[in-house]
């Protein structure tokens, strides 16, 4: 026996003697994970979170979350002797007087942007491939929770330095709180310890940012991963891949090396960004004061869609009975985001209800094979992108010689016109892709080679697909639409009847598809040729 094997054996028995975990460990160390690049997106988010914990801890060693006024006398000359809050001054100190401090700040902020971007692309992957279906609805909900908390955590984080840009963001957040009917001004005064900006808000959000929310994150991420572990990962359809199995690489050693290695890669890329690209140069923004503002004041990208919605809102307020309700803030700031996130959270349940599908699904959908869902996703995405674009309309205007008014009007109408168009186009594209699949399964792939038949005709040579490819393109189920329950004998519509009709109508839209080719059809065609 080699020495290394003996050591490994000793470690294993040491652990098993004390925990009896040998059986469990054996099973889990050989656990199989399917390999696909799109399964790494959630890992990017997970690793960015770890990077955030590490770099964030570094920053707390110097950061002073206090809004007490101090006079700056650090090394950054353009702010010398300027009065500012201690949190801003200590952020300047980290940036200019702690070696590697600016690097860590930039790593922290880039990691936050990557974290949010990775969550979004991970969510899109899960949505478009139907990975949220039974039994993974709970994990979908946890994911939506993580996304929501991520937005809040990011906002709180970039608000901490108390610079002019982030202070403006807090001012806007305060206006949203203040706009809540009945209790708004009370909530605002409680949150800010009095009139805006006060002296307590940053110390308070600091503890939320570094303790409360990271704690909740850790708990949710743990459950999220445990569920992935326990329920086993989904896999893409293909030869040998069934609902009843999972094909991939064992955790030890391949997946450990790949996933572990990928953590270092994500950290490396983040550090590289932190080294070469400036982010949130708070020394240029200046300290916050409510009387100042900079052109082009925007939030970070994951809040940009919200800001875009607020910008395009119509100027509506209700004044009645001595009270004011600001629809121009409530609709874009609370109501629309509420509807969007609730709809997103409920989608798995809606889909399972309308298709009466209560089975487990472990094989992923190819997005084209569920045109309605794919179109719905693309539609929602276009809504977000239009809102996000309007959130940067001033920068777009100056860089592409457009007018902010023009962009605003375009997005005001575009928000209602573009998503339905995107829905229709995406659905069409999906159906054409299905048609193309059908075509190549039955007639083979066009090779581009022309041959002349003995009769002098030119024919393009079609290459028959491999059985593996044919299976991949035709393996999916093609459920039929649910039928509406027939009307009662006396012709009255019962409540259940209407519900059934809605369900049947939704199901009909959901299953719209091109009939998959079958071996029988292929056989008949072959017969025809010869």
Q: Which of residues 321-380 bind other proteins (CB under 8 A)?
A: 322-326, 328-329, 332, 360, 362
- For tokens 């891949």, name the residue: 241
Helix, strand or coil, per DSSP, at residue 13: helix
Residue closer to other proteins, measured from CB, 174 or 351: 174
Cα–Cα distance between 529 and 484 in angstroms, integer? 42
Residues 16-75 that bind other proteins (CB under 8 A): 30-32, 35-41, 44
Return phi, psi of residue 129, to 5°: -100, 0
Closer Cβ to other proteins, 152 or 509, answer by number: 152
The dihedrals phi and psi of 291, each to the nearest 5 degrees, come to -90, -5
Q: How far is the CB of 48 from other proteins (least distance, A)?
A: 9
Taking the complex as a whole, the smallest distance from the CB of residue 103 to other proteins amounts, in Å, to 5
| Residue reference for tokens 């000359």 | 77
Q: Residue 512 in contact with residue 372, Cβ under 8 Å?
A: yes
Among 59, 123, 142, 179, binds other proteins (CB under 8 A): 179
The residues that bridge with 325 in the sheet, in sequence order, are: 318
The minimum distance between CB 260 and other proteins, in angstroms, equals 6
526 binds other proteins (CB under 8 A): no
Size of the site for other proteins (CB under 8 A): 168
Which residues ranging from 396 to 435 are in contact with other proteins (CB under 8 A)? 397-398, 401-406, 408
211 binds other proteins (CB under 8 A): no
Least separation in angstroms between CB 337 and other proteins: 16
Least spacing, CB of residue 209 vs other proteins, in Å = 17
Among 19, 222, 494, 518, binds other proteins (CB under 8 A): 518
Could you tell me the smallest distance in angstroms from the CB atom of residue 361 to other proteins?
11
Enumerate residues 126-155 that contact other proteins by CB under 8 A. Answer: 135
The b/e string for 121-152 (b: 16+ C-beta within 10 A; e otherwise) is ebbbbbbbbbbbbeebbebbbbbbbbbeebbe
Kindly give, in sequence order, each residue whose CB lies less than 8 Å from that of residue 132, ignoring residues fewer than 6 positions away.
126, 139, 140, 347, 348
Stretch that binds other proteins, among 188-196, 373-381, 427-435, 443-451 (CB under 8 A): 188-196
* Shortest Å distance, C-beta 43 to other proteins: 8
Spatial distance between the Cα atoms of 455 and 490, rounded to a whole number of angstroms:
68
String marking each residue 87-106 x if it binds other proteins according to CB under 8 A: --------x---xx-xx--x
State the Cα–Cα distance between residues 101 and 245, nearest whole angstrom.
Answer: 49
Q: Please list every residue from 229 through 248 that binds other proteins, using CB under 8 A.
A: 231-232, 239-248
At closest approach, how far in Å is the CB of 105 from other proteins? 8
Identify which of residues 44 and 375 has a Cβ nearer to other proteins in the complex: 44
For residue 259, count other CB atoms closer than 10 A to its CB. Answer: 15
Q: Give the H/E segment covering residue 448.
A: strand 445-452
* DSSP H stretches of helix in 331-401: 336-354, 371-391, 393-400
Kindly state whether residue 265 participates in binding other proteins, applying the rule CB under 8 A. Answer: yes
Nearest distance in Å: CB 176, other proteins: 8
Q: Which residues ranging from 458 to 517 are in contact with other proteins (CB under 8 A)? A: 467-468, 470-471, 474-475, 516-517
> How many C-beta atoms lie closer than 10 Å to residue 233's C-beta?
18
Smallest separation (angstroms) from other proteins to the CB of 530: 15
3-class DSSP state of 513? coil
Separation of alpha carbons 473 and 369, rounded Å: 10
Given candidates 23, 291, 456, 491, which one binds other proteins under the rule CB under 8 A? 291
- Rounded-to-integer distance, Cα 427 and Cα 373, Å: 9
Stretch that binds other proteins, among 180-188, 338-346, 446-454, 504-512 (CB under 8 A): 180-188
* 88 vs 423 by CB, closer to other proteins: 88
Q: Which residue has the tokens 């997970």?
A: 46
Nearer to other proteins, 82 or 141 (CB): 82
Task: Locate 334 and state its tokens.
Answer: 């609370």
Instruction: Tell me how far apart the alpha carbons of residues 292 and 282 are, in angstroms, rounded to a whole number.
Output: 15
């Amino acid at each position: 026996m080699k020495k290394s094997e003996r050591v490994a054996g000793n470690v294993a028995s040491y652990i098993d003697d004390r925990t009896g975990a040998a059986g469990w460990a054996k099973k889990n160390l050989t656990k199989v994970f399917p390999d696909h690049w799109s399964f790494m997106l959630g890992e990017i988010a997970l690793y960015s979170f770890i990077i955030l914990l590490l770099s964030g801890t570094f920053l707390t060693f110097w950061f002073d979350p206090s809004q007490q006024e101090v006079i700056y006398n650090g090394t950054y000359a353009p702010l010398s002797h300027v009065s500012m809050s201690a949190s801003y001054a200590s952020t300047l100190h980290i940036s200019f007087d702690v070696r590697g401090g600016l690097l860590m700040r930039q790593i922290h902020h880039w990691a936050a942007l990557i974290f949010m971007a990775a969550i979004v692309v991970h969510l899109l992957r899960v949505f478009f491939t139907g990975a949220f279906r039974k039994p993974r609805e709970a994990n979908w909900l946890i994911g939506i929770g993580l996304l929501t908390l991520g937005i809040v955590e990011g906002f709180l984080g970039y608000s901490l330095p108390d610079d002019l840009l982030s202070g403006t963001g807090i001012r806007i957040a305060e206006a949203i709180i203040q706009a809540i009917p009945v209790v708004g001004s009370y909530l605002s005064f409680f949150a800010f310890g009095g009139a805006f900006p006060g002296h307590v808000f940053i110390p308070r959000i600091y503890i939320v940012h570094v303790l409360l929310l990271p704690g909740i994150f850790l708990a949710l991420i743990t459950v999220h991963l445990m569920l992935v572990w326990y329920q086993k990962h989904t896999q893409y359809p293909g030869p040998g891949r069934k609902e009843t199995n999972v094909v991939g690489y064992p955790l030890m050693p391949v997946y450990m090396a790949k996933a572990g290695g990928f953590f270092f890669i994500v950290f490396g890329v983040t550090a590289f960004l932190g080294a070469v690209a400036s982010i949130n140069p708070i020394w240029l923004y200046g300290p916050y004061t409510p009387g100042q503002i900079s052109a082009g004041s925007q939030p970070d990208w994951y809040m940009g869609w919200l800001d875009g919605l607020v910008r395009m809102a119509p100027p509506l307020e209700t004044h009645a009975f001595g009270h004011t309700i600001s629809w121009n803030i409530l609709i874009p700031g609370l109501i629309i985001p509420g509807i969007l996130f609730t709809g997103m959270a409920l989608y798995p349940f809606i889909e399972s209800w309308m298709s009466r599908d209560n089975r487990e699904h472990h094989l992923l959908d190819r997005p084209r094979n569920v045109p309605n869902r794919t179109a719905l996703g693309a539609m929602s995405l276009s809504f977000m992108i239009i809102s996000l674009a309007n959130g940067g309309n001033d920068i777009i205007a100056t860089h592409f010689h457009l007018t902010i008014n023009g962009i605003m009007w375009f997005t005001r109408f575009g928000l209602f016109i573009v998503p339905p168009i995107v829905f229709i186009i995406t659905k069409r594209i999906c159906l054409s892709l299905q048609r193309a699949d059908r075509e190549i399964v039955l007639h083979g792939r066009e090779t581009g080679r022309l041959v002349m038949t003995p009769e002098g005709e030119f024919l393009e040579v079609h290459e028959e697909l491999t059985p593996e490819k044919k299976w991949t393109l035709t393996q999916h189920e093609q459920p039929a639409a649910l039928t509406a329950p027939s009307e009662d004998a006396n012709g009255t519509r019962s409540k259940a009847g209407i519900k059934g009709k809605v369900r049947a109508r939704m199901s009909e839209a959901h299953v719209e598809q091109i009939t998959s080719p079958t071996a029988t059809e292929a056989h008949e065609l072959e017969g025809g040729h010869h």
